Amino acid sequence: MAALHSLSDPEVDPRTVNIQFRRAERRDRIITAATEMARHGYDACQIRSIAAAAGVSTSAVYQCFPSKEDLMLACFHDWLWGFEPAVSTANGGDDPYQRLLQVSLTLTDRLCSSPRFAEAMIRPYLYADGTAATQADLVRRQTVRIFVESVGGAKSAPREIGAAKVLSDVWMSNVAAFAQRRITLADLSERLARTIGLLKGR
Residues whose CB falls within 8 Å of the CB of residue 86, separated by 6 or more in sequence, listed in order: 149
CATH 1.10.357.10 matches 78-200: yes
- Give the distance, in angstroms, between the CA of residue 117 and the centroid of all CA atoms in the same chain: 12
User: pLDDT value at position 110?
Assistant: 94
- Predicted model pTM: 0.86
Judge if 8-66 and 78-200 fold alike in CATH terms.
no
| Residue 142, pLDDT above cutoff 70 | yes
User: pLDDT value at position 30?
Assistant: 97
User: pLDDT value at position 2?
Assistant: 43
User: pLDDT value at position 88?
Assistant: 56
| Residue 164, pLDDT above cutoff 60 | yes
User: pLDDT value at position 3?
Assistant: 47
| Residue 6, pLDDT above cutoff 50 | no
Residues whose CB falls within 8 Å of the CB of residue 85, separated by 6 or more in sequence, listed in order: 103, 146, 147, 149, 150
Which amino acid is residue 169, in one-letter code?
D
Instruction: Tell me what percent of the chain is helix, strand and coil, each rounded to the nearest 5.
Output: 80, 0, 20
Q: Which of 20-29, 42-51, 145-154 has the lowest mean pLDDT?
A: 20-29
CATH number assigned to the domain with residue range 8-66, chosen from the 4 options 1.10.10, 2.70.98, 1.25.40, 1.10.4030: 1.10.10
- Compute CA distances 11 → 8, 14, 16, 19, 98, whole Å: 9, 9, 11, 16, 53
| Residue 14, pLDDT above cutoff 90 | no
Q: Which of 45-54, 83-92, 158-167, 175-184 has the lowest mean pLDDT?
A: 83-92
Structural domain boundaries in the chain? 8-66, 78-200
| Residue 11, pLDDT above cutoff 80 | no
Confidence band for 55, pLDDT divided at 50, 70 and 90: very high
